[in-house]
Every structure is written in C-alpha cells, then in structure tokens.
C-alpha cells in the first residue's frame, strides 16, 4: 500500500506538471498575441507620423503645380531658382524676365524686370 501511495503522488505531480506546462503555453500564446498587437499599434503610429507630413507636402506640391501658369518641369525650376542667382543659374533660368519661370522680385536688383542679369552673361 505504501508503494501505491508513492505511485499515486507521482501521478499527481505529473498531472500538475502537465497542467502547469499547458498553462505556461497558453500564457505564452496570449502574451505573443498581445505583443504582436502592441508592435502593430506602434508601427501604425510611426506610419501616421511619416505619412501625414508626406501627404501634406505632396498635396501642397500638387496645388502649386496646378496653380502654376507653367508646366510642371518649369514650375520646379522656378521654385529651385528662389534662393539666389546661383541657384537660378544652376536651374537654367537666368536671366529671368518678369512673368517667366525663375523670376523672383528679390533677385531683380535694379527693379527693371530682369532678375539675375549678370548671371546670364557669364
């Protein structure tokens, strides 16, 4: 009878171990699922912070090109010529006459309607 009790206690221990292993596996599965959802949520937050400014920049660019009196490539060169005459020359729009792409009032030193006059003669 004593031997029987030992076997019985081993059986109870193995049942407890099986239940503990099963519970541990279930806990790990639930934890993995929760971690996956958290990673996904973090990724979506990052994408929003990237996609929102990018879409805003794209919308502004489309708006600028749509309202521009010139084709898209000339509009791009016009915007590239904004900082100074060296940029206008690099964009290939110097000298720029009033109404043409590349003309910016602050680049017209003598206010005669021709911007970056000296840059075109180099």
In this predicted structure, the answer to whether residue 119 has a pLDDT above a threshold of 80 is: no
Q: Supply the pLDDT for residue 98.
A: 93
Which stretch of DSSP H or E encloses residue 97? strand 96-97
DSSP 8-state code for residue 95: S
Please compute the mean of the pLDDT values over residues 115-120 and round it to a whole number. 75
pLDDT above 70 covers what percent of the chain?
A: 87
The structural domains of the chain, with segments of one domain joined by +, span 1-67, 70-122
Residue, of 113 and 64, whose pLDDT is higher: 113
Q: For the ranges 11-20, 88-97, 108-117, which has the lowest average pLDDT?
A: 11-20
Supply the pTM of this predicted model: 0.51
Neighbours of 85 (CB within 10 A): 21
Please compute the mean of the pLDDT values over residues 1-13 and round it to a whole number. 56
pLDDT band at 18 (very low <50, low <70, confident <90, very high): very high
Q: Supply the pLDDT for residue 26.
A: 93
Q: Supply the pLDDT for residue 3.
A: 53
d(CA 69, CA 104): 15
């Amino acid at each position: 009878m004593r031997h029987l009790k030992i076997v019985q206690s081993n059986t109870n221990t193995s049942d407890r171990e099986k239940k503990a292993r099963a519970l541990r596996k279930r806990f790990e599965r639930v934890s993995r699922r929760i971690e996956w959802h958290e990673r996904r949520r973090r990724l979506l937050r990052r994408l929003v912070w990237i996609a929102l400014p990018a879409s805003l920049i794209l919308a502004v660019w489309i708006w600028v090109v749509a309202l521009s009196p010139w084709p898209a490539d000339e509009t791009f060169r016009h915007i590239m010529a904004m900082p100074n005459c060296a940029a206008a020359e690099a964009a290939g729009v110097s000298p720029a006459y009033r109404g043409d792409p590349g003309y910016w009032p602050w680049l017209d030193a003598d206010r005669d309607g021709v911007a970056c006059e000296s840059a075109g003669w180099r």
